[in-house]
Amino acid sequence: MDALLNGLFALADPYLLMLLFAATLGGVLVGALPGLNATTGVALLLPFTITMEPIPAIAILTAIYCAATFAGAITAILINTPGTSASATTCLDGYPLAQRGEAGRALGMAAVSSTIGGIISVVCLMAAAPLLARAAYNFAPPEYFALTVFGLSMLATIGDGSPVKNIISGAFGILVATVGIDLLTSVERFTFGLNELSEGIPFVPVMIGVFGISELLVQADNLHVERKQVVMKSIRLPNMNDYRKVWKTILRSSGIGTFIGILPAEGATVASMIGYNEAKRWSKTPEEFGHGSLEGIAGSEAANNSATGGAMVPTLALGIPGSPTAAVILAGLMVHGLRPGPTMFTDQADFAYAIFWSMLLVNILFFFIGLWGAKIFARVTFVPIQILWPIVFIFSIVGAYALEQSMMDVWIAVGSGILGFYMRRYGFSVVPMAIGLILGGMLETRLGQSMVMLDEKWWLMLNRPLSLFFFVLTILALFGPPVWDRIIKYRFKRKVAGK
Amino acid sequence: MQPFVDVSKHTSNRTVFRYLIPLGIIAFCVLAYFLSTQFDRVPPILKRGMQPSDFPQLIIGLIIILSVWLIFRDNDKTPKRMTKVVHLTMGLLVGFLIIADIDLFLGLGLFATMLTILWGERRAWAIILVGLFVPFSVFFLFDSIFEVRFPRGLLTNIWYG
């Protein structure tokens, strides 16, 4: 209780409040700008937070996360281009409403649903994270190892690419994490005699490269894309009838989004798709979906914003990122010398609760900023990419350099950017690679500790109920979806043959 | 004639996509595995459960197995050809790295200018904004406020003396 109040008092600092306001504004801009999303925004901002105290630094990163996730809806509704992938389903109903001259109503519904979803998820975060941390407090290295393996196995389902390619990408990230001096034995690995590599490949330049610079190359391929804006007369909040129609959808999607967010590696995009589908399934007017249904917007937006709070649960309580953006925030926590995991709620409880309160505040802030500034932010979408992206590049490079003031980091950022572009081009998502890089060191350390603890008999991990449970979950996460797919296809074939 | 041209393009890309990429990954893994065999080994009392090469080799093994799987089971669509602009942008990135060695901000300014022109910008104010104004502002912002010391070079030496 003390920590809860101390966290709240930490927000009384005017400097922090000002930073949160600026970060929320920045987050909404990032979400509305073409090609930028929450993950890229957080990765680009991370180096600039290094000189700050941990609370303001992490608070502004989470502010960007929450606000950018919401702002994706602005472009989704006004120009039929989701600002972030999590808003893709918002286009389906938001744009048709905008074409009918009801852009304000659509944006109003998106803002209200996002805010309610965000607040519900932060309340769940406040309740669930300490409980989860308490449950994990007595985990020994084998349990942690099994849990990390489970977290990494969830990477298989990230994005719409092949699960095998996702795992290769994640494993490559883990391999990159082994570069440098081995912490257990002090032996140099893959350093090629370069002193700069002895501490390993730094997270931040890689994040900037794979999320920022690779996107620059993707944008180079999209120069011909034209964006047309729908005229928006005014923002009109949903009326009582609209609320009556959607309140159940908002609550349902908030629950779905929070749950999906808590699952390791599953983020707002998956949440919004499931939230939208469930909204349609439970709707009394499913035929309106895809033609301008307010329920569709509410289902998608409440789910994607509630996933942000959900994603922070495993990130803070277990040190396993709940989404790609949470992975970058996890890197930020590590860079600031914080140790995400169960001890965070005993050793750094004030910090954890300050972050929760700041997320709650940001969810309220972006409601007002988003509503009043929607017209302006919609114009931001039309900043020409030939002006925007060179500027993003300058900030990316200076950010990569500023952290350690090393030109090697600039090389790493550019190299990761080109590698990331080719990975994306050939269907290898860069998100698993980034998460693998962050979790790789932890995974190896826990495996080493488990081997010492179990007298080098790794199979004894299977004798421990919790480890076994996580390994079973891993197998289900990896093989469940393809097996289920085959069962469904088999049933379908039998049904067709029967007819 | 048109379908014939398309098919030949498709086939060559498909071969690259289906075989060369997994084979390239496997070749990279073989090299990494070889490098891992060169790591120092530690006496049993110091090894803390694993030799330094054990974990990387485990991961390399996993990547090789999955890459072999990809050769037989990859059904992803062939990506469309990269445009000339992408190739040139990548060339500019390489050029940036070379010039950044002479001076980081000279590299940034030239890269930003060239990129904005390459991507179709012709308005003088926009080119000056991204090629001159932004790099200078960023330099002074970081140097004065964040106290970041940039590497000495042709232009930064003028400021640092």
Phi, psi at residue A350, to the nearest 5°? Answer: -60, -40
Q: Are B56 and A190 inside 8 Å of each other by CB? A: yes
pLDDT number for residue A337: 86
- Neighbouring residues of A374: CB distance < 8 A, sequence distance ≥ 6: A74, A104, A107, A111, A232, A235
**Across A422-431, B75-84, B109-118, least confident range:** B75-84
Q: Which of A74, A83, A16 is nearest to A49 (CA)?
A: A16
CA-nearest residue of chain B to A217?
B86
H-run or E-run covering A180: strand A180-181
H-run or E-run covering A188: strand A188-189
Question: Both tokens of residue A357?
Answer: 């309160």
pLDDT number for residue B9: 41
The DSSP bridge partners found for residue A180 are A189
Confidence of residue A342 (pLDDT cuts 50, 70, 90): confident
Stretch 198-217 of chain A: residues touching chain B, C-beta under 8 Å:
213, 216-217
Q: What is the mean pLDDT of residues A457-472?
A: 90
Q: Are A220 and B119 inside 8 Å of each other by CB? A: yes
Q: Say yes or no to pLDDT of A30 above 80.
A: yes
Task: Return the sign of the alpha-carbon dihedral for residues A32, A33, A36, A38.
Answer: negative
Are the C-beta atoms of residues A335 and A299 closer than 8 Å to each other? Answer: no
A447 touches chain B (CB under 8 A): yes
Confidence of residue A182 (pLDDT cuts 50, 70, 90): confident
Please compute, for residue B51, the number of CA atoms within 13 A of its CA located in the half-sphere on the CB side.
Answer: 13
- Neighbouring residues of A345: CB distance < 8 A, sequence distance ≥ 6: A3, A129, A130, A133, A134, A317, A352
**Nearest chain B CA: its distance from A86 CA (Å):** 23
Of A184, A216, A407, the CB nearest to B151: A407
Are the C-beta atoms of residues A374 and A368 closer than 8 Å to each other? Answer: no
What's at A125, amino acid-wise?
Answer: L
The DSSP secondary-structure symbol of A32 reads H
pLDDT number for residue A32: 79
Confidence of residue A120 (pLDDT cuts 50, 70, 90): very high
Distance CA A191, CA A198 (A): 6
Top-confidence residue, A191 or A50: A191
Confidence of residue A203 (pLDDT cuts 50, 70, 90): confident
CA-nearest residue of chain A to B16?
A426
What are the pLDDT digits (tens) for A162-181? Answer: 889 989 999 999 999 999 99
pLDDT number for residue B160: 83
Beta-carbon neighbour count of residue A6 at 10 Å?
15
What are the pLDDT digits (tens) for B3-44? Answer: 333 333 444 456 666 788 899 999 999 999 999 999 988 887
The DSSP secondary-structure symbol of A189 reads E
Partners of residue A171 in chain B, C-beta under 8 Å: 59, 62-63, 66
pLDDT number for residue B3: 35
Question: How large is the C-alpha radius of gyration of chain B?
Answer: 24
Q: Say yes or no to pLDDT of A420 above 90.
A: yes
Q: Say yes or no to pLDDT of A394 above 90.
A: yes
Top-confidence residue, B143 or B68: B68
Question: Both tokens of residue B119?
Answer: 């991507």
Are the C-beta atoms of residues A354 and A10 closer than 8 Å to each other? Answer: yes
Q: Say yes or no to pLDDT of B134 above 90.
A: yes
Distance CA A33, CA A20 (A): 20
Distance CA A370, CA A115 (A): 10
**Across A76-90, A349-363, A379-393, A477-491, least confident range:** A76-90
Q: Are B126 and A410 inside 8 Å of each other by CB? A: no
**Nearest chain A CA: its distance from B125 CA (Å):** 11
Q: What is the mean pLDDT of chain A?
A: 85
Are the C-beta atoms of residues A297 and A264 closer than 8 Å to each other? Answer: no
Q: Is A453 exposed, middle or buried (0-12, 13-18, 19+ CB in 10 A)?
A: middle
Q: What angle do CA A113, A115, A116 make, to 5 degrees?
A: 65
The DSSP bridge partners found for residue A83 are none
For residues A124-153, b (16+ Cβ closer than 10 Å) or e, as one string? bbbebbbebbeebeebbbbbbbbbbbbbbb
Of A51, A182, A414, the CB nearest to B52: A182
Tell me which residue range forms the domain holding A350. Answer: 2-498
Q: How would DSSP label each residue in B39-73?
A: S----GGGSTTS-TTHHHHHHHHHHHHHHHHHHHH
Q: Which of A351, A416, A348 is nearest to A173 (CA)?
A: A416
Distance CA A315, CA A327 (A): 8
User: Which of A260-264, A295-299, B10-14 has the highest mean predicted lDDT (pLDDT)?
Assistant: A295-299
pLDDT number for residue A102: 80
Could you tell me how many CB contacts below 8 A there are between chain A and chain B? 174
Helices (H), chain B: 2-15, 21-37, 54-73, 84-102, 104-118, 124-128, 134-140, 156-160
> Which sequence spans correspond to the domains of chain B?
2-73, 84-160
pLDDT number for residue A226: 64
pLDDT number for residue A419: 95
pLDDT number for residue A235: 57
pLDDT number for residue A391: 93
Confidence of residue A106 (pLDDT cuts 50, 70, 90): confident
A395 touches chain B (CB under 8 A): yes
Tell me how many domains chain A contains: 1
Query: Which of B42, B99, B121, B130 has the most A C-beta neighbours within 10 Å, making it the best mutation to test the interface with A?
Result: B130
The DSSP bridge partners found for residue A305 are none
ipTM: 0.88
H-run or E-run covering A273: helix A268-282
Stretch 94-153 of chain B: residues touching chain A, C-beta under 8 Å:
96-97, 100-101, 104, 108, 111-113, 115-116, 119-121, 126, 129-131, 134-135, 138, 142, 146, 148-151
**Nearest chain B CA: its distance from A89 CA (Å):** 23
pLDDT number for residue A231: 59
pLDDT number for residue B6: 38
Partners of residue B43 in chain A, C-beta under 8 Å: none
Top-confidence residue, B3 or A98: A98
A394 touches chain B (CB under 8 A): yes
User: Which of A255-269, A336-350, A406-420, B6-20 has the highest mean predicted lDDT (pLDDT)?
Assistant: A406-420
B32 touches chain A (CB under 8 A): yes
Are the C-beta atoms of residues A392 and A212 closer than 8 Å to each other? Answer: yes
What are the pLDDT digits (tens) for A361-389? Answer: 999 998 888 777 777 776 776 788 889 89
**Across A323-327, B86-90, B107-111, least confident range:** A323-327
User: B34-38, long-range: CB within 8 Å, 24+ apart, which pairs?
Assistant: B35/A190, B36/A189, B36/A190, B36/B60
Distance CA A49, CA A16 (A): 13
The DSSP bridge partners found for residue A188 are A181
